[in-house]
Amino acid sequence: METWSGPLADVGGGMHEIAPSYKGGRGDLRMRVPGRIVAQPDLLAHIRDDPAAEQVANVACLPGIVGYALAMPDIHWGYGFPIGGVAAFDPDAGGVVSPGGVGFDINCGVRLLRTPLSERDLRPRLVEAVDALFDTVPVGMGSRGGLELAESDLTSILDTGAAWAVENGWASARDREHMEDRGAIAGADARMVHERARLRGRRSLGSLGSGNHFLELQVVDKTWDEVACKAYGVWQGQVLVMIHTGSRGLGHQICEDHVKDLQAVSARHGIELPDRQLACAPLGTPEADNYLGAMAAAANFAFVNRSVAATHARRALSKLFGIGEDETEVLYDVCHNIAKMEEHIVPAGPDAGKRKRLCVHRKGATRAFGPGHPDVPSAYRATGQPVMVPGDMGRASFLLAASQGALDKTFGSCCHGAGRRMSRSEAKRTWNGTELLRKLWEEDGIRVRAASPDVVAEEAPEAYKDVSRVVDSVEAAGLARKVARMRPLGVIKG
C-alpha cells in the first residue's frame, strides 16, 4: 500500500491538521475546511504508512461540510471516506449525504453485556463456554442459521428496530434504554430497501459477520475511574461479553444499491468529486432521502441482529452457569457506521459557535456524547455516554466515558477500535492461522473458535495498531476518559 507524504501539522490538543491549502484548487476540487486527525505523535508513522489521510483531504472538498473533516487515531483506508472518518454537513449550505461516509456494513456496532460472573467462575469452563457460544451464534460470510423471517417481520424490523425485538422476546425494555437512539434510527423506511437486500436479510438475523466481527468473553483487568465503574456496573475481575456485528449482507446490499443510484446524482447537481467513491446527494433531495431511509432501516436491522445474538449468549451462559438470563445486562450498544441528523455547535469556520442541525457521518467512529447530554441514558448522564473500543483478540479492549471535548471538537465522536495497520492479505501471508490458534491458547490462555484458520491469520493481533495507544490519543485530545480495560478470555470469530 502506498504511503502519504502530505502536510500534517501539530496544532496541539492531540490534533494534527491538513491545511486547506493542500488542495487549494478551483470550485468543488478544493478543501473547504481543514482536515484534522486525532493522534499521538507515535501513531503518525502508522498513519503515514496508509494513504487514508488523502481521503480526509478529499472529504474536506465536499459541499456544505462544516468545521473540519476529521479522522480518529484508528484511521485506515476505506471506500471514499477513511475508516475512522467523521464529517458533518449543513443542509442549509448545500450539504450532502454520501454512502461512502457510512460504509458498506451499516451500523456495524458494538454491544457490551455485563455479567455477574468472575474470571474465577468462567476459567474452569472456558472451553465449554466458547464452544457453546460458537455452536449457538452463526458466524462467517453469508452465514445461515439465523432467524427465518417472514416478510412482515422483516419490514417491522427495518421500520421499528429494537421495538420489534422487545415485542418478540429478543430484548427487554431495559435493553432499549441502553442502546443508541433506543435501538431505532429516525426516518427508517423499509420501502427504500430493495428486494435483493431483503433476501440477504431474511436468514442472517442473529449472526456475526466475517472478518473483524466477533463475540468475545472478556475480563475487566484494570480500572481507572471508580465513579464511572459504579455508574456502568463494572468491577475488576468481572466477565463481560462484547458483540461486534452489523447489518450483514442486507446493509452491504443497501450501500451497493444506493452508491449506484447516486453515481449520476452528483454530476446532475453540478458537484465535482475528487474521488468518484464520494458519490453523494444534496440533503433534502429525493435521492438523499431515499438513501437515508434505507440506511436507517439497515441500522435498525443491525440493532435487532445484536439483540438476537445477545439473547443467544445470555441463554448459553444461563444454562452453563445457572444464572438468570436477566442477570446478563446490556451495558450499552453503539453504532459505528451511520449518518444522522444531530444538533451540534460548529467548532470552526464562518459558523463557529452556532448551534446547527447537521448530518453527521461516522464511518468506523463511535458516537460519544458527554455528561449532561439529553441523549445519554439517565443512568449514565452524569458520567457521560459509554464508549466501547474493541482491540484485537490477543491484547485488550477498553471501556471509556465520553467527555465534553468530543462535543466541542469532533461532533460528539470518538474512535471505534484499534484500526488495522496491515491488510488482510498481508496478514495471511505473514501468519499461520492454525499456529496462531495454538499460541493464543497455550501461551496466553485465550480460547478462539473461528470459521476458518484463514480468518484467524487475517485477524492476528499484530495486524492491528496497539489499541492502548489509540485510546491514549483520544484521552489526550479530551474526547473520552479511560474507565476500564478488558482482557480477552474467549473469542468467537466470523
Q: Would you state the cell numbers that stand for residue 310, as one nine-digit string? A: 445477545
Whats the size of the chain, residue-wise? 494
Q: Which of 244, 258, 336, 416 is catalytic?
A: 416
Name the DSSP class of 44: H
CA 492 – CA 275 distance, rounded (Å): 37
CA distances from residue 420 to 134, 444, 492 in whole angstroms, order as listed: 25, 22, 19
Virtual torsion, Cα 206, 181, 415, 62, nearest 10 deg: 110
CA 54 to chain centre: 21
Q: Which of 13, 170, 108, 106 is nearest to 388 (CA)?
A: 108
Residue 208 to residue 206: CA distance in whole angstroms: 7
Range list of β-strands (E), 408-472 = 413-415, 447-450
CA distance 300 to 309: 14
- Per-residue CA distances from 110 to 26, 247, 406 (Å): 41, 12, 19
Task: Tell me how crowded residue 210 is: count the other CB atoms within 10 A of its CB.
Answer: 18
Closest CA to 191 of 157, 159, 164, 151: 159
CA-wise closest residue to 266 among 253, 257, 277: 277
Active site residue 76: no
The residues annotated with a catalytic role in the active site are 416
